[in-house]
Amino acid sequence: MNVVEASGLGKRYGSTWALRECALAIPAGHVAALVGPNGAGKTTLLNLAVGLTAPTAGTVTVLGGRPAGSPAALDGIAFVAQNTPLYKNLSAADMLHLTRNLNRRFDQGYAQARLGELGIPLKQKAGNMSGGQQAQLALTLALARRPRLLVLDEPMAMLDPLARHDFMATVMTAVADDGVSVLLSSHVLAELERVADYLILMSRGTVQVAGDVDDLLACHRVLTGPAAEAGRHAEQLSVVHARHGAAQAHLLVRTSGAADPVPPGWEAHPVSLEELTLAYLREPGAAALPGPARARYAEPTEVTK
Amino acid sequence: MTTLTVPAQPGQDTSPRPVPWRRMAWVTWRQHRLALAGVAALFGVAAVYLLVTGVQMHHAYAAVAACRPAGSGTCRGVADNFLNTYAPGVGPVLGLLQVIPALIGAFAGATVLARELETGTFRYAWTQGFGRTRWTVAKLVPLAVTVTVAAGAFSVLVSWYVQPIFGAGDENGPLYPTIFDLRGVALAGWTLAAFAIGALAGILIRRVIPAMFATFAAWAGLAFVTGWFLRRHYEAPLVTTNPNFAAPAWVLSRVWTRGGQPASLSMINQTLRPIDVQAVTPGQFQPGPAARAGINPVNYLAQHGYALLTTYQPDSRFWPFQWIEGGWLLALSLLLLAATVWLVRRRAA
């Protein structure tokens, strides 16, 4: 089952396409990170997936084919929007009661226990809580709905490092305990690197890279060798990004596996997720779309597998 | 690819039973109880004022009602005395009460959606299992019904309050613009319409304060056009040439004519010169120093070939007009509310 599946998905605001020709299939059971610079279309994609926005073109379904925004989709997805909007004049207890009334399922015991652990008094108004507490309250409300897909839009943008850690700990506990699938966006990869096992890179309104993190790392490597030869080798390799020093060049390349030959005089190194991400973000023209998304991608570029 | 298998519950989750409507009752109450308290306070303060001054006025009116024989010169004097004392105070009160629907539309109607959109909480509310269309209906309908019923109850009090003024024969009857829309079904209709205007302004403008101002402006425009242009055409106005017409009615216009052509005030004054009377308006005459008593200028003009055309709506049309106004306001409100729900469904984020 795919928790999110999009094909030909596009969203236009006025004359600007916030998202174009998006093809995506995120399998269930992952913590999927949606990474890209500001304005890449991350929030647009998430809003489309949770049904807040209607697409201009194409389709998006969730949780195995349910149309985004349909009652069945809303029932199974919990969404925490950017800046975790809460009713500032309502207390934590009121927010719990509100969410309970608005959903078929609500685990009141879980929610109260979570808030107890976090030291958030039930009587405290949401508007008087710290940013970290508000984020935790919003997350608790979402998880108490017992969703099958948890969607988080820039959940940690406003949080200090400690609050970020606590927030992700709550998410990962839910993943371990309930097997909830997670899709979260961020413009900072660092905060997701430890937790994400599926990566979607976006830039300029298109999906650039999508795939299992282990698969992505396995099919990329960095080649280091004399700068003078770099140009010659680059023609034969799928170079994502080249970094030239005075004497040495570093080429981040796509390979079909560890068995690919290394040019004589060059060294191959495994790539880190951060290096990989940065390389693609620096080269918005490059794309790597394995899995179901690849088949639907209309115009493969030269570096598409 | 799949590293974790989510236990699927086929069939059960793909078409979930909707969350029951009654669950929204608490949500709507909790989130709008302040606005509803404001509506209650508004009507409460106005009601207390009307009751206190109204009881006083009814006491004074008892003497007018008890005067016998009714219609005699003495009784007319008692009634005029009553009107001179109380009518000048009633006018401004009725004027102030005019804005009640607009206040409700702005504070209770415009805030419902505009606040969600302005603070971003719609991203929370519209992604819950209840569903955004049902959420909108479950908020707008109970609030609309509540403010409409409250306004309907209040208009009964207004009718009681102004009853002595009509009873004493005030020149402004029940069809007069600033009293017509506070009685019968009109106040409820206007309150509902203002609420619906507010709701629509909220989803269109998406900001609380601008939506409130827009609601006020739209309501004011609609009320003005209705009161001064539209309402007089609900039924074809009646016309009389009786120069001393004095039946209870809403007089729309008085025009002097001569030989079928409208006569200007200067023409009339030319004719009136021999008796030294000036016409200030077609119905109002100012005698000069040389004016002779005993000559009625209206009759004098009639003798000189003039005819006074009075266009009016008789007071007996009060209820037909109420139903017409209430009817189209209800239809308009339902249309605006439907448009609001449709917009919530369609656009967002």
What are the domain boundaries of chain A?
2-213, 219-283
pLDDT digits (tens, 9 = 90+) for B67-103: 888 878 899 999 999 999 999 999 999 999 999 999 9
CB B98 within 8 A of CB B176: no
Report the chain B residue with the minimal C-alpha distance to residue A102: B130
Q: For strands A238-244 and A248-254, give the pairing.
A: antiparallel
A79–B130 CB contact, under 8 Å: no
Residues of chain B positioned with their CB less than 8 A from the CB of A179: 4-7
- Nearest CA to A186 among A114, A281, A118? A281
A98–B27 CB contact, under 8 Å: yes
Q: List the domain range (segments joined by +) for residue B136.
A: 23-236+317-346
Q: Looking at the 3D structure of chain B, how many domains does it have?
A: 2
Model confidence at A87, in pLDDT bands (50, 70, 90)? very high
Q: Is A114 exposed, middle or buried (0-12, 13-18, 19+ CB in 10 A)?
A: buried
Residues of chain A positioned with their CB less than 8 A from the CB of B135: 102
- Nearest CA to B279 among B267, B290, B289? B267
Mean pLDDT for all residues in chain A:
87
Angle between helices B186-205 and B208-225 (to 10 degrees): 140
Residue B10 has pLDDT above 50, yes or no: no
Residue B11 has pLDDT above 80, yes or no: no
Which residues, 6+ apart, have CB-to-CB distance to B105 below 8 Å?
Answer: B191, B193, B194, B195, B196, B197, B198, B215, B216, B219
A55: DSSP letter: -
Tell me how far apart the alpha carbons of residues B215 and B205 are, in angstroms, rounded to a whole number: 10
* Shared domain check, B326 and B226: yes
Residues 178-197, chain A: which have Cβ within 8 Å of B? Answer: 179-181, 197
Q: Is residue B216 part of a domain?
A: yes
* Shared domain check, B183 and B105: yes
* Shared domain check, B281 and B224: no
pLDDT number for residue A55: 94
CB B187 within 8 A of CB B153: no
B148 — phi, psi (to 5°)? -70, -45
* Interface probe, candidates A62, A104, A146, A172, chain B, greatest B C-beta count within 10 A: A104
Residue A288 has pLDDT above 90, yes or no: no
Q: For strands B306-314 and B238-240, give the pairing.
A: antiparallel
B123–A79 CB contact, under 8 Å: yes
pLDDT digits (tens, 9 = 90+) for A70-84: 999 999 999 999 888
Complete DSSP assignment for A202-263: EETTEEEEEEEHHHHHHTEEEEEEEHHHHHHHHTTSEEEEEEE-SSEEEEEEE-SSTTSPPP
pLDDT digits (tens, 9 = 90+) for B158-185: 999 999 999 998 888 899 999 999 999 9
Q: Is residue B258 part of a domain?
A: yes
Residues of chain B positioned with their CB less than 8 A from the CB of A197: 3
The three-point CA angle B222-B198-B233 to 5° equals 20
CA A237 vs CA A245, B246, B280: distances in Å: 19, 102, 100
- Nearest CA to B29 among B150, B147, B139, B144? B139
CA A223 vs CA A220, A226, A239: distances in Å: 10, 10, 10
B129–A29 CB contact, under 8 Å: no
Residues of chain B positioned with their CB less than 8 A from the CB of A30: 3-4
Report the share of chain B in percent with pLDDT over 70.
95
Quick one: how far is CA A12 from the chain centroid? 21
Q: What's domain A2-213's superfamily in CATH?
A: P-loop containing nucleotide triphosphate hydrolases (3.40.50.300)
Nearest Cβ partner of B121 from A85, A97, A148?
A: A85
Residue B6 has pLDDT above 70, yes or no: no
Residues of chain A positioned with their CB less than 8 A from the CB of B129: 71, 74-75, 102-105, 145
- For residue A205, count other CB atoms closer than 10 A to its CB: 21
Angle between helices B110-119 and B132-167 (to 10 degrees): 150
A52–B15 CB contact, under 8 Å: no
Q: Is residue B11 part of a domain?
A: no
Count residue pairs from A and B with Cβ separation < 8 A.
122
Tell me how far apart the alpha carbons of residues A105 and B236 are, in angstroms, rounded to a whole number: 60
- Higher-scoring residue by pLDDT: A256, A184: A184
B127–A78 CB contact, under 8 Å: yes
pLDDT number for residue A303: 40
- For residue A231, count other CB atoms closer than 10 A to its CB: 11
A91 CB within 8 Å of a chain B CB? no
Q: Is residue B160 part of a domain?
A: yes
Mean pLDDT for all residues in chain B:
91
* Interface probe, candidates A47, A74, A80, A199, chain B, greatest B C-beta count within 10 A: A74
pLDDT number for residue B140: 98
A47 CB within 8 Å of a chain B CB? yes
* Shared domain check, B267 and B180: no
Identity (one letter) of the amino acid at B105?
G
User: A49-58, B40-49, B280-289: which has the minimum mean pLDDT?
Assistant: B280-289
- Nearest CA to B93 among B59, B33, B22, B45? B45
* Shared domain check, B331 and B209: yes
Structure-block tokens of residue B188: 């409820």
* Shared domain check, B251 and B207: no
H/E element holding B180? helix B177-180
A213 CB within 8 Å of a chain B CB? no
Cis bond leading into B262, ω under 30°? no
pLDDT number for residue B12: 47
Nearest Cβ partner of B16 from A75, A97, A197?
A: A75
ipTM value, please give it.
0.89
pLDDT number for residue B205: 96
pLDDT digits (tens, 9 = 90+) for A247-259: 888 888 888 766 6
How far does the CA of residue A52 sit from the closest CA of chain B (Å)?
6
Tell me how far apart the alpha carbons of residues A102 and A105 are, in angstroms, rounded to a whole number: 9
Q: Is residue B256 part of a domain?
A: yes
* Shared domain check, B109 and B135: yes
What strand order describes the sheet that includes A220-226? A238-244, A248-254, A220-226, A267-270
- Nearest CA to B299 among B274, B272, B262, B264? B272
* Interface probe, candidates A75, A139, A146, A154, chain B, greatest B C-beta count within 10 A: A75
pLDDT digits (tens, 9 = 90+) for B261-295: 888 888 888 888 888 888 888 878 888 887 777 78
Q: Is A84 helix (H, G, I), strand (E, B) or coil?
A: coil
Q: Is residue B286 part of a domain?
A: yes
* Shared domain check, B311 and B195: no
A72–B349 CB contact, under 8 Å: no
Q: Is residue B100 part of a domain?
A: yes
Query: What is the CB-side half-sphere exposure of residue B123 using CA atoms within 13 A?
Result: 22
Q: Is residue B306 part of a domain?
A: yes
Model confidence at B302, in pLDDT bands (50, 70, 90)? confident
* Shared domain check, B243 and B94: no
Q: Is B298 exposed, middle or buried (0-12, 13-18, 19+ CB in 10 A)?
A: middle
Structure-block tokens of residue B39: 């509506």
Residues 6-25, chain B: which have Cβ within 8 Å of A? Answer: 6-8, 13-19, 23-24
Model confidence at B258, in pLDDT bands (50, 70, 90)? confident
Model confidence at B48, in pLDDT bands (50, 70, 90)? very high
B315: DSSP letter: G
pLDDT number for residue B4: 44
A28–B5 CB contact, under 8 Å: yes
Complete DSSP assignment for B248-297: SEEEEEEEEEETTEE--HHHHHHHHGGGTEEEEETTEEEE-TTPPTT--H
Nearest Cβ partner of B3 from A29, A79, A104?
A: A29
* Shared domain check, B276 and B196: no
Q: Is B130 helix (H, G, I), strand (E, B) or coil?
A: coil
CB A102 within 8 A of CB A130: no
CB B338 within 8 A of CB B197: no
Tell me how far apart the alpha carbons of residues B82 and B209 are, in angstroms, rounded to a whole number: 44
- Nearest CA to B190 among B162, B160, B161, B231? B231
CB A3 within 8 A of CB B4: no
Residue A38: strand pairing partners: none
* Interface probe, candidates A2, A30, A101, chain B, greatest B C-beta count within 10 A: A101
- Nearest CA to A96 among A120, A63, A60? A120
* Shared domain check, B190 and B96: yes
Model confidence at A289, in pLDDT bands (50, 70, 90)? low
* Shared domain check, B140 and B206: yes
